[in-house]
Amino acid sequence: MHSTNLHQLTLAELKQGLKKQAFSSVELTQHYLERIQRLDNQYNSFISVCQEEALSMAKQADTQLAQGDESALCGIPIAHKDLFCTEGVRTSCGSKMLDNFTPPYNAAIVDNCINAGAVMLGKTNMDEFAMGSSNENSFYGPAKNPWNSNCVPGGSSGGSAAAVAAQLAVAATASDTGGSIRQPASFCGVTGLKPTYGRVSRWGMVAYASSLDQAGPITKTAEDAAIMLNVLAGFDHRDSTSIDEPKPDYTTTLSDSLEGLRIGLPKEYFSDGLDSQVEQLIQDAIKTYEALGATVKEISLPHTHLAVPAYYVIAPAECSANLSRFDGVRYGYRCEDPKDLEDLYKRSRAEGFGEEVKRRILVGAYALSAGYYDAYYRKAQQVRRLIKQDFDAAFNDIDVIAGPTAPSPAFELGAKTKDPVSMYLEDIYTLPTNLAGLPGISIPCGVTKENKPVGLQLTGHYFSEAKLLNIAHRYQQETDFHQHTAPAID
């Protein structure tokens, strides 16, 4: 492979190339850094680029590779969403509040990647504190969709999805509280995996809504997602909700047969509000699965319509507690010349947080306040249980749930910024998965007439990541939608 085309390769292919010494990690890293420098002014997918750190990590990886090191990501340049703490590298979380914050330690998954030999290219753009579905809430300006720069890349992990789609990184980490891995993956025509809650450590990841947050990879293919998950997943005693389940090698079962696979199509996911082109592409994908030996049946998840209202009480409630730590005292933004302590708190928070974050803190504090707790927060938790029970019942007779990732393809920048509720409805098919703690994946299944990518969402039972990746990979062996790149990408 000519070195000018290295960005077209998948992570699995790059691993082979590095092993055979077809190119070095330094060459590969330089190649990506040059692309970021030349092209990212169009996409704004990075908040920080780590030129020097990346090259020194690449040099070290080359030494290790020469000694036959076979670590899973040895020499592979990747990007991290800017809410994973990185020692010595600014971690802004897309917010003015943390614009000056350089953590003294690495998040667990950042360390996992370093221990596996990965090179860190930089930190990707995101909605402020991961709140949003379009990346338009970033203090650093929106990331743009590489398929159409008038459109949003989705959110909150829009920078990670745009960077992979524009081939500025072969893989990126991301986080998903209500859809932020899967929805941007769908909008940008890439693969995004949200693992089971507790599968990947949250230690060192800036908290949004702790009972929902989960980290995972955005990649070009399901095979690459399996390689990444092998590195990211695992028990961590520092995260009290990390689960000590055995970790399979996710790459070994990718090509297993799908003969007899039972797919459920929730009737609530194919109703009003679903774009007709999206629906058609999902139906086509289901036919591919039938040809691979799967059986398909309609199921019902009767409480689906309550997911958006329940989530938009629970997530703000948790965020109002989590974000109370940003008080202008310990770290982050501090206002100029405070009159007294109260003024310091008030103005630091008023000036440091953006509009959407403030809206959520207000909603959350209200829902948790005495007198409203039972009516809103407790009620939302009860609804959450009903949603989980819907899934438990469904998984009695099916193996996986299929449907759209989002109700429509990428929308134009500014189209929903004036109407928060229409933005919240973007998450209608992804939120239930987080409320139940289940794993889900979005894979490209075609483009609309306007050449906008569409994602197929697959949701599995707890800890069924290996199965989900197998189901996604078999589809990618049969189809080439994941190989299509945005038109302007060279």
- Of 133 and 219, which has the nearer Cβ to ligand GLN? 133
What is the per-residue DSSP string for 452-484? Answer: -EEEEEEEESTT-HHHHHHHHHHHHHH--GGG-
Residue closer to ligand GLN by CB (options 156, 470) is 156
Among the residue ranges 163-171, 174-182, 225-233, 237-245, the one whose residues contact ligand GLN (CB under 6 A): 174-182
1-60: contacts with ligand GLN (CB under 6 A): none
Per DSSP, what are the bridge partners of residue 296?
A: 263
Of 15, 81, 123, 416, the active-site residue reads 81
Q: What's the first-to-final CA gap in the chain, in angstroms?
A: 15
Query: Is the distance from CB of 322 to CB of 300 less than 8 angstroms?
Result: no
Instruction: Specify the residue, 134 or 485, whose C-beta has the smaller distance to ligand GLN.
Output: 134
Q: How far is the CB of 176 from ligand GLN (least distance, A)?
A: 5
- What is each CA distance from 364 to 318, 367, 453, 455, in whole angstroms? 7, 5, 34, 31
Rounded to the nearest 10 degrees, what angle do helices 379-394 and 307-322 cross at? 120
Does the annotation count 59 as an active-site position?
A: no
Using the contact rule CB under 6 A, the part of the chain among 79-87, 97-105, 130-138, 278-286 near ligand GLN is 130-138
194 sits in which H/E element: strand 191-194
Residues 6+ apart with CB under 8 A from 60: none
CB of 274 to ligand GLN, least distance (A): 18
Residue 124 in the binding site for ligand GLN (CB under 6 A): no
156 is catalytic: yes
Residue in 45, 177, 186, 442 binding ligand GLN, rule: CB under 6 A: 177
Q: Is 135 in the site for ligand GLN (CB under 6 A)?
A: no
Site for ligand GLN in 181-240 (CB under 6 A): 208
- Shortest Cβ 130–ligand GLN spacing (Å): 4
- Give whichever of 117 and 316 is closer to ligand GLN, judged by the CB atom: 316
Half-sphere exposure of 490 (CA within 13 A, CB side): 6
Structure tokens at 36: 């970021």
C-alpha torsion 363→365→370→372, nearest 10: 10
Burial of residue 66, with CB atoms counted within 10 A of its CB: 0-12 exposed, 13-18 middle, 19 or more buried: exposed
Q: Is 173 in the site for ligand GLN (CB under 6 A)?
A: no
Task: Give the burial string for 21-54 (b: 16+ CB within 10 Å, else e).
Answer: eebbbbbbbbbbbebbeebbeebbbbbbbbeebb
Which range of residues in 88-96, 129-137, 237-245, 438-446 is near ligand GLN by CB under 6 A? 129-137
| Options 108, 215, 285, 315; binder of ligand GLN; rule CB under 6 A | 315
Q: How far is the CB of 154 from ligand GLN (least distance, A)?
A: 9
Contact call for residue 307 and ligand GLN (CB under 6 A): no
State the binding string over 389-428 for ligand GLN (x if CB under 6 A, else -).
--------------------------------------x-
Shortest gap between Cβ of 143 and ligand GLN (angstroms)?
14
Q: Where are the alpha helices (DSSP H) in 95-191?
A: 108-115, 158-165, 182-188
54 token code pair? 């990346």
Taking CB under 6 A as the binding criterion, the range among 76-84, 172-180, 224-232, 344-352 that sits at the site for ligand GLN is: 172-180
Among residues 50, 131, 357, 400, the one that binds ligand GLN under rule CB under 6 A: 131
Beta bridge partners of 458: 402, 441
Selecting among 45, 156, 320, 348, the annotated active-site residue is 156
> Judged by CB under 6 A, which of 117, 132, 142, 198 binds ligand GLN?
132
Q: Is 166 a binder of ligand GLN (CB under 6 A)?
A: no
By beta-carbon proximity to ligand GLN, the closer residue of 236 and 356 is: 356
At 52, list the tokens: 């020097």
Catalytic residue among 95, 138, 180, 186: 180
Site of interaction with ligand GLN (CB under 6 A) = 130-133, 156, 176-180, 208, 315, 427
Which active-site residues does the annotation give? 81, 156, 180
